[in-house]
């Protein structure tokens, strides 16, 4: 019964892929983003809905370390950005002019960040907006400015979109100009996968990666476990008499093995002793060198 439960647990673990919870407490958009990224990198991932309404991402236990490196390099899960409605909730007290300007700058920067991150190929973005204070004494007011840092996938030609991105940011500012927008483009290259993960091994004709050794061990060992379980079930079904006959047959087999090994050992000892006697007698009949020289 215990063996049967162990086999069933092993089958369930094999079918489930031995998945482990990798990231939890995500919203559905973040979970989808993480799953797509990991699958693009060759890691099997799936999302699950938790009881509290959040989402989690599951990966195989052997790929958890590699998945963590990918998440760190691509800055995932992507954090949500507050909107203008979050910064300026209805019914709040009127802030001072300086406080309102600072809050508006922050809200506008978050809105632009969210917009840039929706461009294909953009991983993360950071935008900073500087709005000059209104000075009625100045005839030529200082123009607003902005700066942005964009991390993008190296396989995407984001440099071709640099003028359009500058224009997008400048048009979001009152009297803004692309000349007053500074843009830093940072390419992110794919992670070089660990040699231990890329190493291909062979076992019983199966080629597999080192990170998949647990699944291969279960695949190759599971048939033997099932066969052993079936053997136990058959012996129990056949009854005690069959067990006795099986034990007697096993004992005869062991006796034959011991007899065979004993015969080989005696034959080996006999051959060595005859060789020793023949060698000594041969030495006794051999003439010394002095006698051979006298005959000459």
In this predicted structure, the answer to whether residue 125 has a pLDDT above a threshold of 80 is yes
pLDDT tens digits, residue range 151-170? 998 888 888 899 999 999 99
- Asked whether residue 164 is domain-assigned, the answer is yes
pLDDT of residue 268: 55
Mean pLDDT of the chain: 73
How many domains would you assign to the chain?
A: 3
CA distance 125 to 116: 7
- Asked whether residue 65 is domain-assigned, the answer is yes
pLDDT tens digits, residue range 42-98? 888 888 888 888 888 888 767 778 888 888 777 777 776 666 566 666 555 556 777
Higher-scoring residue by pLDDT: 129, 67:
129
Q: Are residues 158 and 225 in the same domain?
A: no
77 prior amide bond cis, ω within 30? yes
In this predicted structure, the answer to whether residue 147 has a pLDDT above a threshold of 90 is yes
In this predicted structure, the answer to whether residue 116 has a pLDDT above a threshold of 90 is yes
pLDDT of residue 200: 47
pLDDT tens digits, residue range 281-292? 444 455 555 544
Q: What percent of the chain has pLDDT over 70?
A: 60
- Asked whether residue 259 is domain-assigned, the answer is no
Q: Are residues 59 and 122 in the same domain?
A: no
Decide the pairing of beta strands 181-188 and 145-153: parallel
- Asked whether residue 125 is domain-assigned, the answer is yes
Contact 191, 149 (CB under 8 A): no
pLDDT of residue 73: 78
Higher-scoring residue by pLDDT: 102, 213:
102
Domain range enclosing 208: 197-235
Q: Are residues 168 and 207 in the same domain?
A: no
- Asked whether residue 264 is domain-assigned, the answer is no
pLDDT of residue 179: 93
Contact 38, 59 (CB under 8 A): yes
- Asked whether residue 260 is domain-assigned, the answer is no
Q: Are residues 230 and 174 in the same domain?
A: no
pLDDT of residue 264: 57
Contact 75, 123 (CB under 8 A): yes
CA distance 6 to 222: 10
Separation in Å, CA 87 to CA 21, 79, 157, 170: 34, 16, 34, 21
pLDDT of residue 246: 62
CA distance 295 to 287: 11
The half-sphere exposure of 9 on its side-chain side, counting CA atoms within 13 A, is 6
Strand order in the sheet with 181-188: 122-130, 145-153, 181-188
Q: What percent of the chain has pLDDT over 90?
A: 16
Q: Are residues 32 and 103 in the same domain?
A: no
- 126, β-bridge pairs: 149
Closest to 66 measured CA to CA, from 175, 192, 184: 192
CA distance 182 to 126: 12
Q: Which residues of 19-37 are buried (b: 16+ CB within 10 A; e: fewer)?
A: beebbeebeeebbebbbeb
């Amino acid at each position: 019964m215990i063996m049967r439960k162990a086999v069933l647990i092993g089958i369930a673990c094999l079918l489930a892929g031995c998945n482990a919870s990798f990231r939890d407490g995500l919203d559905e958009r973040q979970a989808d983003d993480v799953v797509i990224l990991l699958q693009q990198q060759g890691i099997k991932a799936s999302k699950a809905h938790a009881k509290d309404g959040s989402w989690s991402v599951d990966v195989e236990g052997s790929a958890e370390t590699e998945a963590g490196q990918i998440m760190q390099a691509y800055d995932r899960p992507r954090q949500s950005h507050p909107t203008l409605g979050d910064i300026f909730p209805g019914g709040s007290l009127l802030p001072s002019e300086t406080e309102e300007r600072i809050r508006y700058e922050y809200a506008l920067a978050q809105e632009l960040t969210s917009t840039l991150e929706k461009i294909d190929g953009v991983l993360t973005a950071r935008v900073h907006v500087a709005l000059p204070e209104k000075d009625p004494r100045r005839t030529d007011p200082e123009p607003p400015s902005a700066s942005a840092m964009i991390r993008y996938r190296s396989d995407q030609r984001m440099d071709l979109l640099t003028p359009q991105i500058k224009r997008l940011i400048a048009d979001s500012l009152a009297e803004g100009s692309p000349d007053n927008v500074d843009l830093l483009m940072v390419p992110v290259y794919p992670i070089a996968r660990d040699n231990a993960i890329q190493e291909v091994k062979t076992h019983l004709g199966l080629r597999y990666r080192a990170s998949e050794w647990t699944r291969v061990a279960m695949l190759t060992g599971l048939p033997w476990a099932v066969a052993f379980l079936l053997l136990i079930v058959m012996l129990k079904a056949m009854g005690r008499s069959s067990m006795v006959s099986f034990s007697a047959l096993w004992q005869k087999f062991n006796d034959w093995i011991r007899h065979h090994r004993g015969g080989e050992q005696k034959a080996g000892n006999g051959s060595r002793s005859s060789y020793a006697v023949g060698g000594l007698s041969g030495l006794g009949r051999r003439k010394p060198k002095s006698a051979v020289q006298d005959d000459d």
